[in-house]
Amino acid sequence: MELSVVQPIKVRMPHGSQDFTPGEVIALPDKVARRLMELAPGKVRRGTDSPVHIGQRVHYCIPTNIKGPKSYTWEEHVGLVEIMDTENHLALIIPEDETIPWRWVNLSFINEGLSK
């Protein structure tokens, strides 16, 4: 089974630990892949196709009130996906509820559960 990496992850492989970055694909036996999905929910997903598509209406989160690397809050917004950059794990979003015309968002901060 092929898994697509959503968030950075370190995986113990038979030949030693290996770091994976978002957008990379890991090919594993089905049983091992299912176990990794259980152990690292949200960090990997089944298949290589992105669940987010151009023209899709999505919720996304952005950091706000940034006072330092560990001092910030999150805001949730809604927008339409205009462009996908799967190599860099980004989507260009046209916000519905912000005054800015567009925003690049990392795919790991997008909830694809909304319909058009």
Q: Supply 58's token pair.
A: 């999505």
Cα–Cα distance, 58 to 93 (Å, whole number):
9
Tens digit of pLDDT per residue, the chain (116 long)? 888 887 889 988 888 899 998 778 888 888 988 889 888 887 888 776 667 878 889 999 999 999 999 899 999 999 999 998 877 788 999 999 888 999 999 888 888 655 44
| Torsion angle in degrees (nearest 10) through CA of 109, 81, 58, 63 | 30
9 located within any domain? yes
List Cα–Cα distances, 28 to 51, 81, 105, in angstroms: 20, 31, 29
Query: Both 67 and 104 in a single domain?
Result: yes
38 located within any domain? yes
69 located within any domain? yes
For the chain, the domain total comes to 2
Query: Both 95 and 68 in a single domain?
Result: yes
Structure confidence at residue 1 (pLDDT): 83
Query: Both 40 and 15 in a single domain?
Result: yes
Q: Domain of 8?
A: 2-46
Structure confidence at residue 64 (pLDDT): 92
Structure confidence at residue 115 (pLDDT): 44
116 located within any domain? no
Query: Both 70 and 96 in a single domain?
Result: yes
99 located within any domain? yes
